Amino acid sequence: MAVSKEQVESVLKEKLQPTNLVVEDTSGGCGASFDVKIASPLFAGKRVLERHRMVNSALTEELKSIHALTIKPVTPEQWVE
């Protein structure tokens, strides 16, 4: 089953309470590849690998249908447009 951009956004908003979130479907619309840039206060004090694990954990069900996921997890203070 295909995963939508809106589905990824909804799950991340619910589980990681981001202050900023940009999700881009890079699969051409089939839902198999996404770029995620996310800023969350929950990332404070965490290393990049831990932040990636938090995003992957939040998207456990969705990752069953996603082929590629690029993640840029930052704190709100590190967010750059």
DSSP state, 22?
A: E
What are 16-70's pLDDT values in tens digits?
999 999 999 999 878 799 999 999 999 999 999 999 999 999 999 999 999 999 9
Is 0.75 surpassed by the pTM of this model?
Answer: yes
Domains and CATH numbers, the chain: 5-78 (3.30.300.90)
70 membership: H or E segment, kind and range:
strand 68-74
